[in-house]
Structure 1
Amino acid sequence: MFRREFIQNTGILAGGLLLPKDMFGRTAAGDQEGRIKVAVIGCGDRGKGLLHIAAQLPAEFEVAAICDVLDFRLKETLKQQPGLKQYQDYRALLDDKTIRAVFISTPLNMHFPIAVAALQAGKHVYLEKTMTYNITEALDLVKIVKQHPDQILQVGHQYRYAPIYYKVKEMIDKGYLGKVTQIDSRWDRNNNWRRSVPEPSLERKINWRMYKEYSGGLMAELLSHQMDFINWAFDTHPQEIFATGGIDFYKDGRETYDNVQVMFRYAKEGMIGNFGTTLANERDSYLFKLKGTKGTISLLVNDAIFYPEKSNRKELETVDGVTGATKIVWDKDGGIPIRTDLPGKDGTYYSLKDFHRAIAEKKQPDSNVITGARTAICVHLANKALYEERIEKWDSKYNV
């Protein structure tokens, strides 16, 4: 019976899934590893965010140093956490033998050279998304990481580290959505994405996301998270990429588009993925729907609801005559809330827990150089389709 299996096998009401590798609890190996001394390279909003989360994990990490090319960023960060050693040259920081790992949260164009230098210096690397600026760097980084088997490189696609995403992945694996054919996702905002600039000469360094020389734009900064989850959950990648967009609202000299839409054709799975974002309307904000023949899952960052199709809903509404199980509680829109037994902390908290576990156990993190490369390639192909106005296709040489 679908209803009985649904309750017993997914634990959807009580939330009792075993999440991968016990990543949300302390392991024996983690206890033996102890605190790892780390440094943050890149002290913008994301770097300070990583510093804030690391402070919530005192048993796992000791942040000892920070690095940024902008002096005022270092001063801002020291106000948040005084006493840290500071550098403006990442190479000088990497010479510090006491630093075992680095968090890299620089502009996208610097991800690859700093990650390579960190690996060559013997450090473990937490590298922010998107993993690399282009496809060549993604493929090269895979090769370089393989040359450093004793070091961990994790990619910061933190949103899919939220416990609810592991649960949704297990539901997909067990077939509760049936055959998934459509993915609809958005990540919308209503602001100009611009940071204040203390002097004009710093415009491109501070607002790097707006300039193609440094940035992958909205594809890299926002939509890469949802692309990454689909790649991971279905162990796939798109075969064809279609895109359109423009600078449709903010006529302020930026180069990356403020309004984009990309469609991925996952031909092998028979799926279409729609990924869109605008900076001129925030009504939908974060929207992520996976649509299958048996039901739809609607995902937020820490919440999810399952909407069964009519053919399955009838059985779910019936009280089980054998077990006497009570009826499932539906929300006002006819959905079943999906729950976990874990607190809804920021996904970065769980991703840093996994980084520590990976180092302690000398095992690959769930968001690793292979999954990171696959998503980085998707982002780059999406941007090529967007800016060159042509259909892009996945090449077999991208299979890593």
Structure 2
Amino acid sequence: MNRRNFIKNGTMGTGALLFSGGVWSGLANTGNDRVYRIGIIGFGDRGSGLFNVLKDFKAKFRVIAICDPLDLRIDNARKMADTDKVKIYRDHRKLLENKAVDAVIIATPLNTHYEIAKNSLEAGKHVLLEKAMTFTVDQALSLSKIAENHSKQTLQIGHQYRYSPLYYKVRKMIQDGYLGKVTQIDARWDRNWNWRRPVPDPRLERKINWRMYREYSGGLPAELLSHQMDFIHWAFDCLPTTVYGTGGIDNYNDGRETYDNVQVNVRYEKEGMIGNFGATCSNQHDGYSFRIKGSRGMVSLLVDDGIFYPEPETRKELEEVDGVSGATKITWNDDKKGIPLVDSPLKDGSYYAFEDFYAAISENTLPDSNVYTGGSTAICVALANTSIYGGNPQQWKTAYNLASDHKDKATVDSPSRKQKAREEEK
């Protein structure tokens, strides 16, 4: 983008860059007043958490069934739900036989995602499947074909940052050239915690702490870093070329099998970018951090906040725009000369994801996080783990390009209805 167009398109001041979290209501009105009946499969931390989020959607969704094989989670479900209105199951296949259930949320261990999603689609249910979409590359390829054979059903994948108004804003900034030529992505998700859940009975160790064991889990890349990988794929409409990872059990020698310290390097050859995705369980200082670095500026993101740091020449141009056009004065972050991107609190990303789930079901359209995009990210995670545990770089194959024939469906080329709704409200 040349200087004149940069200034023209960036009559930025705060008006174009600052997102007011309290303004946008989510999606354009679907014109549908139907309440969809939900079954939740898996009632651990995530499943029970989504149950609570759904309390804000009483006019759109009603939970009528909960399934979990563990007694302690069944007990928790009975405490949280009105069992006169919510039926409890231990076998997901029995829940899927319930004709009253319109859609299911799958929040189970990663190694079960494929089978339960397949069963759910074949039972005629709409599906919100938690990330990562599948455990293996072959499962991702297979589930995409199964979903195509059930085109009247929605399959949404739980990469909720695709629905955050803030992340939409950053994606638009990237597309409009505010960051210039992006070459580096530095993403971390760190904590100083062993990642374990309490186990009331030693026999339940692998069922409760399934994230610790390679039979069930994709570890830190799947559970944490997949979100940031997925955003990069979305924001730049790109896929990896080479994936290389390393890691180890470097602190918690407690019988776990998945690594507590990982680093994944992803090369995007066509875009001329390098993505660095790392996580440790031994230091919380950086926490969630996500920096996208371009020749004109950098965006630094948290889960629900962000700052744009223009490069010196870009900063001069922005200040010149203010002085010449009379645009709203740029609000700078005092310490590092950054422009805040959010001026009021945002809702949890799952809230926005549920809005899109409702619209996608009602309109029979692909959600922004769908089987093609979610499958691509699941493949990237699987390749990362193959490299982490095997030691060799992994090459992306053309067979992995799930969305290549579905660009119009997968919302990678044009703004979605949510993006348009935002722009109309400005």
Q: TM-score range by the shorter chain?
A: over 0.9
1: CA distance between counterparts of 2:145 and 2:237?
20
Could you tell me how far apart the structure 2 residues matched to 1:183 and 1:112 are?
30
- How far off is 1:329 after superposition? 1.5
Say whether residues 1:138 and 2:140 are aligned partners. yes
Deviations 1:16-65 (A, max 9, x none): 89x9xx98135133x34x21000100000000011011111111100011
1:331 to 2:333 alignment: yes
Note the residue ranges of structure 1 that are not aligned, 5 or more in a row: none
Partner of 2:62: 62
- Cα distance in 2 between the residues matched to 1:179 and 1:323: 26
Q: State how 1:10-49 maps to structure 2 within 5 Å.
A: 11-13=15-17, 15=19, 24-25=26-27, 27-29=29-31, 31-32=32-33, 34-49=34-49
Q: Structure 1 10/115 Cα, relative in aligned 2: closer, same or farther at 3 Å?
A: farther
Given the alignment of the two structures, is residue 7 of structure 1 paired with residue 21 of structure 2, yes or no? no
- Mean alpha-carbon deviation: is it higher for 77-86 or for 218-227? 77-86
- Cα 1:10–1:271 change in 2 (3 A) is farther
- Paired residue for 1:226? 228
CA deviation string 1:107-126 (max 9, x = no partner): 00000000000000000000
Task: Identify the residue that residue 159 of structure 1 maps to in structure 2.
Answer: 161
TM-score normalised by structure 2 residue count: 0.89
Q: Structure 1 residue 300 and structure 2 residue 322: aligned? A: no
Q: Secondary structure at the match of 1:133?
A: coil
* Shift of residue 82, structure 1, vs aligned partner: 2.7
Residues 30 and 362 in structure 2, CA contact (< 8 A), matched pair in contact too: no
Secondary structure (helix, strand or coil) at the match of 1:28 reads coil
After TM superposition, the score normalised by the length of structure 1 is 0.95
Query: Which amino acid in 2 is paired with 1:98?
Result: A
Q: Distance in 2 between matches of 1:141 and 1:293?
A: 39
CA separation of 1:327/1:265 partners in 2, compared to 1, >3 Å: closer, same or farther?
A: same
Change in 2 beyond 3 A, CA 1:5/1:100: same
Q: CA, structure 1 residues 305+121, in 2 after alignment: closer, same or farther (shift >3 Å)?
A: same
Shift of 1:159: 2.7
2:114 paired residue number: 112
Q: How far, CA to CA, are the matches of 1:247 and 1:173 in structure 2?
A: 39
1:379 aligned residue (378, 381, 390): 381
Match of residue 78 from structure 1: 78
| CA contact 1:23–1:350 (8 Å) conserved in 2 | no
1:258 to 239, 257, 260: 260
Q: Distance in 1 between matches of 2:185 and 2:244?
A: 15
Q: Summarize deviations over 1:53-98 as a string: whole Å, max 9, x none.
A: 1111111100011000101101112212232210000000000000
Task: State the shift of 1:315 in Å.
Answer: 1.8
Structure 1 pair 14/283, CA: closer, same or farther in 2 (3 Å)? closer
Aligned equivalents of 1:46, 1:6: Cα separation in 2: 40
**Partner residue, 1:217:** 219
Partner of 1:121: 123
Q: Measure how far apart 1:326 and its partner are.
A: 4.3
Cα pair 1:303 1:339 within 8 Å, conserved: yes
Q: Distance in 1 between matches of 2:382 and 2:118?
A: 20
Structure 2 residue aligned with 1:195: 197
Q: Retained in 2: the 8 A contact 1:10–1:171?
A: no
Cα separation, partners in 2 of 1:16 and 1:194, compared to 1, 3 Å: closer
What root-mean-square deviation, in Å, do the aligned CA atoms of Structure 1 and Structure 2 show?
1.9
Tell me how far apart the structure 2 counterparts of residues 47 and 394 of structure 1 sit (CA, whole Å): 33
Report how far residue 4 of structure 1 moved.
Answer: 5.0
In 2, the alpha carbon distance for the partners of 1:326 and 1:61 equals: 41
The 8 Å contact of residues 27 and 356 in structure 2, kept in 1 or not, is answered as no
For 1:318, what is the secondary structure of its paired residue? Answer: helix
Contact 2:245/2:384, CA 8 A, preserved across alignment: yes
Provide the aligned length of Structure 1 versus Structure 2: 394
Contact 1:127–1:156 (CA<8 Å) still a contact in 2? yes
Contact in 1 for aligned 2:11/2:321 (Cα 8 Å): no
Segments of 5+ residues of structure 2 without an aligned counterpart are 403-426
2:383 counterpart of 1:394: no
- For residue 179 of structure 1, what is the aligned residue in structure 2? 181
User: Which residue does 1:278 correspond to in 2?
Assistant: 280
C-alpha distance in structure 2 between counterparts of 1:299 and 1:293, whole Å: 17
Kindly provide the amino acid, as one letter, of the partner of residue 120 in structure 1: E
TM-superposed CA distance for 1:339, in Å, is: 3.0
